Structure 1
Amino acid sequence: MSIMPAHSALFAATSLALGTATAGAQTSLPPVVSTESLTVQAPPRPEIQNFPHAGVVGQPRRVTAKQNRPPHGTQGDWGVFTRGNGESAGFGPVGRYGVAPWAEDWRYLRDRSLRNDPFDPLKFIALNDSKTIWLTFSGETRLRNWFEEHPSLGTQGSPGSGRFGVRNLYGADLHLGSHLRFFGQLVNADAGGWAGYGYGTTYRKRLDLQQGFVEGTATLLGAKSGLMFGRQQFLDAPSYILYNRETPNVPLAWNGIRGYAIWPRVRVDLYDFVGTNINQNKMFHDNEDWGTRLHGLDVTLAPPDIRLGHEKLATYLDLFAIGFHLEGSLAAVAAGKSTLNGSTARQDGGFRWYGSSPSFEFSIGGLYQSGTFENSKSGATRSVDAYAVNSIVGYRNPKSRWHPFLGVQTDLYSGGDTRSANGTVGTYIAPFNPQTNYLDTTTYIAPSNLISLSPVLRTTPLDWLSLQFKAPFMWRDSTNDDVYSSSKVYSFRNIGGGLIGIIPQASLTLQLNRHLTWTQYGARFIASDSMKAAGAKSGSYYQSNFVFRF
């Protein structure tokens, strides 16, 4: 499947057709009546109760698919694939609002008697008498600030750095009947602070098109199918592999084509994208980054439920093949006391098996990463041989008013041997912004050459308050490889032993109302003695996120 330079023309046509940005609902077949039910002799689950890996946007944990459809949730009717936080449908987590706003389905608001929110009139605006043509608006404003005692273990910025960022994402979704829609979204962002650093194109952005695509849907071979062409978010991969670039202000956007088909128990997704070049100083000047490419295939299976005592365990099995090409600093390879610049093409092949019951939740995944690295200076090519293993398993007590979750998270990312500039590259990389809070809130340690083990404790004592605690213990997988941050290779040398450090961290989420969320993160990076001897510094970290969305 190839990507043609017609993207720019399509984006312009989309913007012209919409007039402004666009956002809102998944175009699928109308919801069907489901007989699925769940009986739990326990207090009702608070809306804020989250999956541990559901992300900084609080996404409710719903055990049955029916709980994720209107009016409790706003996800399209994808059958069994809308259980949990709905991510198994392939469009990211969706509660009342989705990480991708176009994954929301607001058609139930055709019935005015179901409107119970001041913003409901903006979520379904009928443009004809039969209400088959409609417009949905969406929006998000996020205020985020940080404090870092010693940024990036003392290697970046200044001690006591404070930063502030704001971003706006506003759009609209125009549905022309049941099978065609245009979606668009505008973005602008800014950042500042004291002793700040790193205010690049992912933090500052004049008004531009964040997303703009056309989608057509139909029923093909018994599957609810769709084709999306244009600039769009892509979240159909485990969030520890790639996500949405949530820590900076400007999310990831991909340009290309995506096709999907969803049967009752099988889902297939095929895609081919190139990245987006961000121009922070000019309006509407973002264009395609032809040096960054993402393509792949994802097949998700929903096997029959497993009986677990008196409960049913609903599971999903993802089988994926993800390929990507990189140039520039993200593709650089560490070698000795320097780095080798060049380009890399890598292929990830793997699986993820995950699921939940009212009191049990788990996710187990593994992948093998192959490919090549080409040195830009010498032209020499090196093969890639890397891998990753990820898991989380835990127990909930649904009968307790505290709704506690207690689990263990383990992660392994292979390392290589940086003592030589030749031979196989064994260091695993995940360049497309895996979910920040899955591994390390501070982002000081990246998923490369890493072993991480952490307890996870989450409690939701009130329907508007949730607390989570983690304490990852981190080691290098290979003592012949370096320590990596989310943006660079640390220059620490002669590190004795494999222990990197311990990062106790906590998050507090306050769901002030349907539209206002305040989440705070606190962490302390406690560097090991060998890391301190090599020059690393321990430090405290704090982050606050105040989000308005509709």
Structure 2
Amino acid sequence: MSRIRHSRALRTGTAIPFLAAAIGVAYGVAARAADGVQADGRQATTTAPENITVHVRPRPPIQIYPHANPIGQPYRLSGAENRKNGHPYDWGVFNRDNGEAAGFGPIGRYGVAPWAEDWSSLRDHPKHDDPFDVLKYIPLTRSGSVWISFSGETRARNWFESRPMLGTQKPSDSGRFTIRNLYGADLHIGPHLRFFGQLVNADAGGWGGYGYGSTYRKRLDAQQAFVETRWTMLGAKSGFMFGRQQFLDAPSYIIYNRDTPSVPLSWNGFRAYMIWSRIRIDGWDFVQTYDNERAMFHDTENYASRLYGFNATWAPPDFTFMGQKGYSFVDAFYIGYKLAGAAGVIAGPDGAVTGSNTRNTFGTRWHGVAGPVEFSLGGVWQGGVFRPAATSTARGVSAYAINATLGYRLPDPVLHSFAGIQADVYSGGDAARRSGTIGTYTAPFSPQTGYLDTTTYMNPSNLIGFAPLVRITPCSSVSIQLKYPLFWRDSVRDPIYRSTGYYSFAQTFHGRFIGMAPQASLAWQINTHLSWTQYVSRFMTSRGLDAAGGSSGTYYQSNFAFRF
């Protein structure tokens, strides 16, 4: 049982760059000392508190930092549970499961986007139950309406690959090691305004390393820096965010956080949202951060890569299925891309064709829970135009993707078992054509790493994937997933695509079946702030791919992370 003390006033906010936040802390501490404010900053309040007693089970440690994709989480959490024993803002039913239905990414006690966390409940000083709570809510005024929160992550990642990228990347038996730091500050000025800032730096080493660009080795720079205003309009909790920021309001199999490198994706522009009790809408227009600079604080805007669109999510009325509660969410979205340079390349008869690539992606997704069944079904159609750099002949685009996951949560109070299947289809085209419609689907902005294949050797273009999976959670801090993906090409006239471009083998690959990649993952939440996640996979290439010059290989990855 937890005792929740809160104000009737909406406690939300915005954020500032890290250095300005630090100055704000110094100013706030000095002001409090001068005014004789007590350490908890609670001398004066302008709102009458109310006391509510709520029965909530303790949060399972493995859900402190939930992974993306609401289907197949280690435990199933209601929106009330996620709100009361986690730290999302009060988005009602959209807080269910891992909270990503609200549009701000997965969030438990901590979130993928730290600015999505709400620590205003720590105004009640006696509720501090963690040494780092003193950094999560620091009042800067007597009333506590101006306050600052700090967040941080240090991640050490190492991985081994016996034959990287299906044997096309040298050297073999590569062992890479990376470390990154993400530290931020979130300054709230009353209930309607906040500033958020986050710094990043990263380095890489190991033996036989490859691919170490600026997203692996990064001198200190501004990862995020934005201002947000919040208000109530037409009965909706509304907000406007402007500046450099993370963006996670899309199915994670389309856009996510760029997990494999050390520097996550960030965007520059604006986002506006409105959230009612069962409907929410969101619109955005961004340019990608140009993070290829080596010098300190030199990241700027990359106007060659744009992301824009809108999303609407509806939470239909709850229902009953097989004698148990059910609920779901329906997403309808438009996501537009503008790509140039390496990001806009397509496959042609003579190799890679550079140019400008505009994609208009219209899609829908229905996901939720029906008693013991968990499901997600999505489909998109992708139009657009490709303009080759060498000619004036524009080519149209007509591509599609279908993504489905269906699983059953067994009535198993010991292992909390979940078993399911995942099926994905990403359309391919014809690389031999110089004109006509392009049929290859593309998702250029870092879909969730483990959704298709933990090795990241497969990219969601010209691909058919099918994978049975099982997850068990033998104790509240440990979860294990076993998955067995099989992969085929959708079109044998289009190559196999990787995260950057497509594969080129010594001989032409004529087959359809690519191979299979049995894999296992183990996540251990050691305590509130330390976690250790491991992945292992054996990518077994088909005979046809072996004959073309591909190679089977073993993949292992370890992630040790500290967060507060």
- Whole-Å Cα distance in 2 between the matches of residues 21 and 546 of structure 1? 32
Q: Counterparts in 2 of 1:392-407, with a 5 A limit?
A: 392-407=405-420
Which of residues 380, 403, 406 is equivalent to 2:393? 380
- Whole-Å Cα distance in 1 between the matches of residues 215 and 384 of structure 2? 28
In the alignment, is the contact (CA less than 8 A) between 1:20 and 1:171 conserved in 2?
no
Determine whether 1:495 maps to 2:509.
yes
CA displacement, residues 76-123 of structure 1 (integer Å, 9 cap, x when unaligned): 000111001000000000011000000000111111121100100100
Code of the residue aligned with 2:352 in structure 1: it is: T
- Whole-Å Cα distance in 2 between the matches of residues 385 and 539 of structure 1? 34
Specify the SS of the correspondent of 1:419: coil
- Aligned-pair RMSD on alpha carbons? 2.5
In the alignment, is the contact (CA less than 8 A) between 1:507 and 1:521 conserved in 2?
yes
Q: Which residue of 1 aligns with 2:188?
A: 175
Q: Alignment identity in percent?
A: 56
Alpha-carbon shift at residue 500 of structure 1 (Å): 0.2
Alpha-carbon shift at residue 281 of structure 1 (Å): 2.0
Determine whether 1:548 maps to 2:562.
yes
Specify the SS of the correspondent of 1:325: strand
- Whole-Å Cα distance in 2 between the matches of residues 360 and 35 of structure 1? 32
Q: 1:398 to 1:131 in 2, by over 3 A?
A: farther
Determine whether 1:517 maps to 2:531.
yes
- Whole-Å Cα distance in 2 between the matches of residues 394 and 15 of structure 1? 42
CA displacement, residues 465-515 of structure 1 (integer Å, 9 cap, x when unaligned): 110011101000011111011112111353232100000000011110010
Q: Counterparts in 2 of 1:131-142, with a 5 A limit?
A: 131-142=144-155
Determine whether 1:529 maps to 2:543.
yes
Which of residues 480, 497, 521 is equivalent to 1:507? 521
- Whole-Å Cα distance in 1 between the matches of residues 172 and 54 of structure 2? 55
In the alignment, is the contact (CA less than 8 A) between 1:321 and 1:347 conserved in 2?
yes
In the alignment, is the contact (CA less than 8 A) between 1:416 and 1:481 conserved in 2?
yes
Alpha-carbon shift at residue 310 of structure 1 (Å): 1.6
Alpha-carbon shift at residue 314 of structure 1 (Å): 1.2
Q: Which residue of 2 aligns with 1:18?
A: 21
Q: 1:239 to 1:120 in 2, by over 3 A?
A: same
Q: Which residue of 1 aligns with 2:217?
A: 204
Which of residues 166, 170, 183 is equivalent to 1:157? 170
Determine whether 1:117 maps to 2:133.
no
- Whole-Å Cα distance in 2 between the matches of residues 466 and 30 of structure 1? 43
TM-score normalised by structure 2 residue count: 0.89
Code of the residue aligned with 1:201 in structure 2: it is: S
Specify the SS of the correspondent of 1:135: strand
Q: 1:258 to 1:518 in 2, by over 3 A?
A: same
Specify the SS of the correspondent of 1:508: strand
The structure having more radius of gyration, on CA atoms, is 2
Code of the residue aligned with 2:510 in structure 1: it is: G
In the alignment, is the contact (CA less than 8 A) between 2:331 and 2:366 conserved in 1?
yes
- Whole-Å Cα distance in 2 between the matches of residues 399 and 212 of structure 1? 45
TM-score normalised by structure 1 residue count: 0.92
Specify the SS of the correspondent of 2:404: strand
In the alignment, is the contact (CA less than 8 A) between 1:146 and 1:544 conserved in 2?
yes
- Whole-Å Cα distance in 2 between the matches of residues 117 and 390 of structure 1? 40
- Whole-Å Cα distance in 2 between the matches of residues 359 and 18 of structure 1? 46
CA displacement, residues 15-55 of structure 1 (integer Å, 9 cap, x when unaligned): 66424799xxxxxx9999999999xxxx9884426999627
In the alignment, is the contact (CA less than 8 A) between 1:15 and 1:21 conserved in 2?
no
- Whole-Å Cα distance in 1 between the matches of residues 55 and 386 of structure 2? 51
Q: Which residue of 2 aligns with 1:69?
A: 83
Q: 1:409 to 1:287 in 2, by over 3 A?
A: same
Which of residues 242, 261, 272 is equivalent to 1:248? 261
Q: Which residue of 1 aligns with 2:108?
A: 95
- Whole-Å Cα distance in 2 between the matches of residues 50 and 529 of structure 1? 43
Alpha-carbon shift at residue 62 of structure 1 (Å): 4.0
- Whole-Å Cα distance in 2 between the matches of residues 61 and 466 of structure 1? 10
Q: Which residue of 2 aligns with 1:4?
A: none
Q: Which residue of 2 aligns with 1:108?
A: 121
Code of the residue aligned with 2:538 in structure 1: it is: R
- Whole-Å Cα distance in 2 between the matches of residues 350 and 332 of structure 1? 23
In the alignment, is the contact (CA less than 8 A) between 1:50 and 1:59 conserved in 2?
no
Alpha-carbon shift at residue 215 of structure 1 (Å): 0.3
In the alignment, is the contact (CA less than 8 A) between 1:358 and 1:398 conserved in 2?
no
Q: Which residue of 1 aligns with 2:279?
A: 266
In the alignment, is the contact (CA less than 8 A) between 1:148 and 1:542 conserved in 2?
yes
Q: Which runs of 5+ in 1 are unaligned?
A: 1-11, 23-28
Code of the residue aligned with 1:515 in structure 2: it is: H
CA displacement, residues 307-337 of structure 1 (integer Å, 9 cap, x when unaligned): 1122111100010000010011121110124
- Whole-Å Cα distance in 2 between the matches of residues 33 and 279 of structure 1? 51
- Whole-Å Cα distance in 2 between the matches of residues 360 and 282 of structure 1? 51
In the alignment, is the contact (CA less than 8 A) between 1:298 and 1:319 conserved in 2?
yes
Alpha-carbon shift at residue 349 of structure 1 (Å): 0.2
- Whole-Å Cα distance in 1 between the matches of residues 232 and 225 of structure 2? 24
Q: Counterparts in 2 of 1:183-194, with a 5 A limit?
A: 183-194=196-207
Specify the SS of the correspondent of 2:62: coil
- Whole-Å Cα distance in 2 between the matches of residues 210 and 442 of structure 1? 26
Code of the residue aligned with 1:278 in structure 2: it is: D
